[in-house]
Amino acid sequence: MFTKAGVYDPNKIFGITKLGEIRASSFLAEEAKVRPSTINCPVIGGHSGITIVPVISQSKPSMQLSPERRKKITQRLRVSSI
């Protein structure tokens, strides 16, 4: 896809992991008090630490969280493991 668009640079490609998505979705589901299987939150970056970024604004269904709650969920994702 990137090659076709003429923008492929292997030094600038991010990966995603299903584990990160599952963890982010689980944390958001806990926040919303719903089953984790009902939430899908994409994640970009690495597996943990500051490189993992949950894209809460793109979660399905949409989640309306305060900046403080977003920060807490992001921090929890970055430091915890299941």
Supply the residues annotated as catalytic: 47
CB 44 within 8 A of CB 55: yes
Closest CA to 37 of 22, 52, 47, 50: 22
Two tokens at 25? 């979705």
